[in-house]
Amino acid sequence: MNRTNLLNELWEYQNKHGYISKRAITQIAKSLKVSILDIEGVISFYHFFHQKPTGKFIIYLNNSIISEFKGFQYIKAAFEKETGCTFNEYDENPLFSLFETSCIGLSDQEPAALINFYPFTNLTVKKVKTIIKQLKEDEKLATISSSFISKIQYTPSEEKTMLFRNYIEGNSLKKIRKYSASEILENISKSGLTGRGGAFFSTAQKWKYCKESKSDKKIIICNADEGEPGTFKDKALLNNYPGLIIEGMIISAYVTGAKEGFIYLRAEYKYLLKKLEKTLEKFVDKGFLGDHICGIPNFNFYIKIQLGAGAYICGEEKALIESLEGKRGEPRLQKYFPTQNGYLGYSTIVNNVETFAKASRVIELGTTYISKIGTQKSKGTKLLSISGDVAKPGIYEIEWGTTIRELLKLCEALSPYYIQISGPSGECINSTEFDRKICEEDIACGGSIMIFNRSRDILQIQKNFMNFFKIESCGVCTPCRAGNQILYEKIKKIERGLSTEKDLEEIKQWANIIKLSSRCGLGKTSPNSLVMAIDKFKDYFNLKTSPITENQYVEFDMENAIQEYDDVINNL
């Protein structure tokens, strides 16, 4: 056994005992020949590993902005009342432990929580009371948890749908027998397929780099760690078409010569683990995985599933590779791309769930079919997760080139005012931009669209986003670790009515420093939404700030400033 098995060892022990004890850390360190300090460093990095005893039922309540607007505070209070526990503390309660967590991929069914990683959706105070009562009576979680259903709200006409259409296992794999690896790569190239995780890098180019690499081994990784708040499209594919994703990985292996693959599944989707494992077993039985697969001599390919442990940054490909190697999921320096130096130093392909599913459809349907869909530069369809103030939250498969206005009509948006594209790290738009198109040449949406009406406070949205980033920062580089905290404090200052126009300028200056000097994509994109909001919602921010110059003083309220002190003294 080696270090790459560390996350599995930690999960196995925690699943048995509820937490990872010092004794367990010593045993695991000895078994894997890793220092105790290293093991503790890994455990502390991930949100879902615990070093203190927990209750029988660990409840993780989503605190994302969609949840916040749907009644998060009421649900939080209800859980505390019914369990007698406090959130984010290790109470000596043998039954329950309560923790807040960031987006769990259920934004279309908020408020939502995971209880021992079983999903509970559309929570109400009454539902919480019932759930806790059932758990106290020892009812099985599998019986009382929410039935997980992907809410597919829209697909284009049949001739323009790529993903959510009839799927027959092995259809794309039958076709690769007829073509060489180079011919398959050429088809992927002609389709114009780019990464669907948000970077939009040419899929064919990435595969070509790996194919031409002189690496002793080639590795294929499916990034199923979609942690961007408001995103749940990949979960729908994993739930509805796991075979389609796996076929895409097999096609990638055929092109590159890889013999080993991984699906890195975020812990929040642990309830999909058994389905994925059964699909892999079925593919082995059908001769699609293993040795001499798909009827092609010497085409050997195996896939394993690695469960993550709760770290947003592991959605970044180099951080994901570090995690897969049994380390803290800290992003590597940008010296090499994974195709040059990836998993254990081997040439590695990391593609998103939707990308692999699309690659499979490209081979199955053909490039002629794909070329008729989308815009001149963006071919095919895009999967979107839509949530917020809409009548129809859920999954939308749209043709590239669809306008924001058309999308708002499809999802029956309720007085849309502020729209967040591609999650907190993406782009926000206002009502003057509703005729812009969702495509790579205009709004290159990674997959999340959160829609807010005029009743929602922009500062509350931005405060939630920035709190998310300061919590999820790995802490390695100062610009991201300290910078996001500074921006968070600036937002709080505006919220308290103590800011001036100068503060808005300082926000932009700090944002620029963070973006230019951060080590990875988290810091480089974390200020995006805040800076855009200041520019695109000027009237709102003008009302929130004072035109006071730096030589003037904001009025100081002495009574308010010492109120907390007085309260403490009076209660002595």
Domain edges within the chain: 3-45, 57-144, 155-371, 381-414+421-451, 458-544
Residue 546 confidence (pLDDT): 84
Lowest mean pLDDT among 126-135, 144-153, 487-496: 144-153
Beta-ladder partners of 262: 221, 304
Do 331 and 319 contact (CB within 8 A), yes or no?
yes
pLDDT of residue 572: 64
Of 570 and 60, more confident: 60
The helix/strand/coil state of 448 is: strand
Residue 112 gets the label, from left (phi > 0), alpha (psi -120 to 50) or beta, of beta
Quick one: pLDDT at residue 79?
Answer: 99
The bridge status of strand 57-62 relative to strand 113-115 is: antiparallel
Name which residue leads in pLDDT, 498 or 559: 498
Give the pLDDT score at 299. 97
Would you state the pLDDT for residue 209? Answer: 97
Is 381-414+421-451 a CATH 3.10.20.600 domain?
A: yes
Give the 3-state secondary structure percentages of the chain, helix then strand then coil, rounded to 5.
50, 15, 35
pLDDT reported for residue 550: 52
| pLDDT at 432 (0 to 100) | 97
- H helix intervals, 379-424: 404-410
pLDDT of residue 548: 62
pLDDT of 560 reads: 75
Query: What's the mean pLDDT in 551-555?
Result: 58
CATH topology of domain 458-544: de novo design (two linked rop proteins) (1.20.1440)
Residues 474-486 have pLDDT tens digits of 888 899 999 999 9
Q: Which fold has domain 57-144?
A: Glutaredoxin (3.40.30)
Q: Which of 283, 261, 263, 280 shows the shortest CA–CA distance to 210? A: 261
Tokens in use for 319?
A: 């951080």
Q: Give the architecture-level CATH label for domain 155-371.
A: 3-Layer(aba) Sandwich (3.40)
Rounded mean pLDDT of 112-139? 98
Residues in the chain: 572
Q: Which residues pair with 397 in a beta bridge?
A: 383
pLDDT in tens, 375-422: 988 999 999 999 999 999 999 999 999 999 999 999 999 999 999 999
Question: In which band, very low, low, confident or very high, does the pLDDT at 549 lie, cut at 50, 70 and 90?
Answer: low
> For residue 318, how many C-alpha atoms fall within 13 Å in the half-sphere facing its CB?
16
- Classify residue 415 as left (phi > 0), alpha (psi -120 to 50) or beta: left
Count Cα neighbours of 108 within 13 Å in the Cβ-side half-sphere: 23
DSSP SS3 for 348: strand
Residue 217 confidence (pLDDT) above 70: yes
- How confident is residue 333, by pLDDT bands cut at 50, 70 and 90? confident
| pLDDT for 552 | 57
Is 334 buried (19+), middle (13-18) or exposed (0-12) by CB count in 10 A? exposed
User: What tokens does 477 get?
Assistant: 């580089």
Least confident stretch, 293-307, 352-366, 544-558: 544-558
According to the model, what pLDDT value does residue 566 have? Answer: 74
Residue 463 clears pLDDT 70, i.e. is over it: yes
With beta carbons less than 8 A apart as the criterion, state whether 33 and 4 touch: no
C-alpha to C-alpha distance for 14 and 548, rounded to whole angstroms: 55
Q: Do domains 155-371 and 458-544 have the same CATH topology?
A: no
For the segment 325-338, the average pLDDT, to the nearest whole number, is 88
Least-confidence region, from 118-122, 197-201, 370-374: 197-201
